[in-house]
């Protein structure tokens, strides 16, 4: 006789690590065991303690921490940097710490049958003592590495998992692995014993360490697939960056704001949209930082707080340059309209920078953000990591309904066809190209609005100059072709006449190419 199927969904327990709960679709499966496997330095112990700390602080749930490796005193001391006072929680009856770490003065010799019965009794007593709902065990490898019989390891692991399930707790078990992309765990059996398996990685990519988290399996329930970057932050602990949660649901405003330059505003159809992301791309010296300076000045003039994140120039240099163009950044700063953050991008990982920027924005609450430049940040990580950073940053800025202006340096002096080497241009709403144009032994500068989502804009490539009063946009380049390709060529009026004559000769064609007209300017 067939048994009726249990259609009750697997209940999940929010871990309190909100960014992780997003990719776990609600948290860890309740009253089940979750194996967290990772190499050295990947954050296993921090996750295990944070799981308990979040339960105590946010859910009023007591916890039990079992340590097989580090001593209890070391655990208490190490976790203080995250603001977790384990000793105070123990004294308040909110946390029980079971110290099963080895005594360095006692040599352990494998002899006869091994039994974890006494240790499990200690864990069960601790669970009852504080009425615990959460248990973390760190780490399995520390106790089983001294035994050579794999059948013993499998049997005792199964016994631990069964005992924890019988206690009715949600448990986290940590285990070591020998490589970031090798076997799941050291003994090859841990992942089959646990109900759920997660992998933490700390991969060396181009001389930079990058941490990621992956949920390998959740029995009976759904979760996000793939690796997600995370970082470890003082006073906060482990913070996951769930790119999957960054959905395209941002609001779109029709309100225009000034770029800080009336001529650029006119080329953009009346200015930038309030919650848009603008990319200014150009070679070194073409005027990208000046464009940023005007953008910030325009915001302060409109009563908007502005944030500048500078990764290539010092604060003093930026302020000196602004003064040279007639803008007083010091006054803006004194009035609380401007905050400037300057540092080398190499001082932190891209994930750390993203979390740091989010914290600065939450504290200062700017209406405009400028990043000068993205190209400097690109040096910190891999292409994939950099693109994930830009996705996270643009999504965050848009959700805050803040206007963002980013600069990017093209790899060649004359620009060429590439806007950005990492193809982030598709993530932006507007693109302004600044280009050098060589004309008869003289270097000129050209500006064009390549893209303006949701708005008509000027299609011309206009010459601009820079003086002590800033940027001045002039007339378009005429009788010149190949500017955007990085190979500008001057076309004489006689050559244009021959081209127009060709158009005139074609039946059914207009008498002039679209936008073309004879010039009466003798200089052209």
Query: What residues are labeled active site?
Result: 69, 312
Which residues lie across from 368 on neighbouring strands? Answer: 306, 403
Token reading at 75: 């655990």
Separation of alpha carbons 238 and 19, rounded Å: 9
CA angle 437, 441, 446 (to 5 degrees): 15
Which spans in 42-103 are helix H? 44-58, 72-79, 86-91
Q: How far apart are CA 253 and CA 274, in angstroms?
A: 6
For residue 363, the SS3 value is: helix
Phi then psi for 215, rounded to 5 degrees?
-90, 110
The structure tokens listed for 460 are 């011309």
Burial of residue 491, with CB atoms counted within 10 A of its CB: 0-12 exposed, 13-18 middle, 19 or more buried: middle
Q: Which residues contact 50 (CB under 8 A, 6 or more apart)?
A: 15, 16, 17, 82, 84, 237, 238
Would you call 363 exposed, middle or buried from its count of C-beta atoms within 10 A (0-12, 13-18, 19+)?
Answer: exposed
Where are the alpha helices (H) located in 466-506, listed in sequence order? Answer: 493-505
* Spatial distance between the Cα atoms of 191 and 325, rounded to a whole number of angstroms: 63
Q: What are phi and psi of 454, to 5 degrees?
A: 80, 15
Tell me which residue of 25, 22, 80 sits closest to 49, measured CA to CA: 80
CB 289 within 8 A of CB 418: no
Q: Which two tokens stand for residue 2?
A: 């067939």
* Residue pair 232/44 in contact by the 8 Å Cβ criterion: no
Report yes or no: 352 and 231 within 8 Å, Cβ to Cβ: yes
Q: Give the strands of the sheet with 430-439, arranged side by side.
A: 338-342, 306-310, 368-372, 403-409, 277-282, 430-439, 442-452, 462-467, 470-476
Task: For residue 293, give the H/E element and its range.
Answer: helix 288-301
Burial class (CB in 10 A: 0-12, 13-18, 19+), 313: middle
Residue among 403, 421, 402 at smallest CA distance from 411: 421
Q: How many CB atoms lie within 10 A of CB 469?
A: 8
Write phi, then psi, for 351 (nearest 5 degrees).
Answer: -65, -40
Q: Do you find a cis peptide bond into 135, omega within 30 degrees of 0?
A: no
DSSP 8-state symbol, 102: P
* Nearest one of 137, 112, 433 to 279, comparing CA atoms: 433
């Amino acid at each position: 006789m067939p048994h009726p199927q249990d259609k009750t969904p697997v209940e999940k327990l929010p871990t309190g690590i909100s960014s992780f709960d997003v990719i776990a679709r609600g948290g860890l499966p309740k009253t089940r065991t979750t194996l967290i496997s990772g190499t050295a330095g990947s954050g296993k112990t921090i996750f295990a303690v944070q799981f308990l700390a979040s339960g105590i602080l946010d859910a009023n749930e007591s916890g039990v921490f079992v340590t097989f490796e580090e001593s209890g005193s070391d655990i208490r001391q190490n976790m203080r940097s995250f603001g977790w006072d384990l000793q105070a929680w123990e004294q308040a009856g909110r946390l029980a710490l079971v110290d099963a770490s080895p005594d360095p003065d006692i040599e352990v010799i494998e002899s006869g049958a091994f039994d974890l019965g006494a240790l499990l009794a200690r864990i069960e007593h601790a669970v009852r003592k504080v009425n615990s709902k959460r248990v973390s065990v760190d780490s399995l490898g520390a106790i089983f590495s001294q035994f050579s019989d794999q059948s013993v390891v499998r049997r005792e692991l199964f016994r631990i998992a069964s005992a924890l399930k019988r206690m009715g707790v949600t448990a986290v078990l940590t285990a070591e692995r020998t490589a970031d992309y090798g076997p799941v765990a050291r003994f090859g059996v841990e992942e089959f014993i646990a109900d759920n398996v997660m992998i933490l990685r700390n991969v060396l990519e181009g001389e930079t360490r990058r941490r990621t988290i992956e949920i390998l399996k959740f029995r009976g329930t759904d979760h996000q697939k793939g690796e997600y970057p995370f970082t470890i932050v003082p006073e906060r602990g482990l913070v996951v960056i769930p790119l999957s949660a960054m959905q395209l649901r941002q609001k779109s405003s029709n309100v225009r704001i000034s770029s800080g330059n009336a001529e650029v505003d006119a080329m953009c159809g009346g200015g930038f949209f309030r919650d848009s992301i603008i990319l200014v791309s150009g070679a070194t010296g073409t005027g990208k930082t000046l464009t940023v300076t005007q953008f910030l000045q325009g915001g302060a003039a409109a009563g908007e707080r502005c944030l500048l994140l500078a990764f290539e120039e010092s604060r003093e240099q930026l302020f000196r340059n602004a003064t040279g163009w007639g803008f007083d950044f010091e006054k803006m700063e004194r009035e609380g309209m401007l905050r400037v953050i300057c540092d080398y991008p190499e001082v932190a990982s891209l994930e750390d920078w993203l979390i740091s920027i989010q914290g600065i924005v939450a504290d200062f609450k700017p209406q405009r953000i400028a990043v000068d430049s993205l190209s400097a940040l690109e040096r910190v990580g891999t292409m994939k990591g950099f693109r994930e950073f830009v996705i996270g940053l643009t999504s965050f800025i848009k959700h805050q309904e803040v206007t963002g202006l980013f600069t990017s340096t093209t790899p060649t002096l004359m620009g060429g066809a590439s806007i950005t080497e990492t193809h982030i241009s598709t993530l932006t709403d507007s693109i302004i190209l600044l280009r050098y144009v060589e004309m008869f032994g003289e270097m000129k500068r050209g500006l064009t609005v390549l893209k303006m989502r949701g708005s008509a804009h000027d299609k011309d490539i206009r010459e601009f100059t820079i003086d002590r009063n800033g940027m001045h946009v002039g007339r378009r380049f005429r009788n010149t072709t190949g500017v955007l390709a990085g190979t500008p060529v001057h076309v004489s009026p006689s050559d244009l006449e021959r081209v127009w004559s060709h158009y005139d000769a074609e039946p059914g064609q207009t008498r002039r190419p679209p936008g073309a007209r004879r010039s009466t300017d003798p200089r052209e």
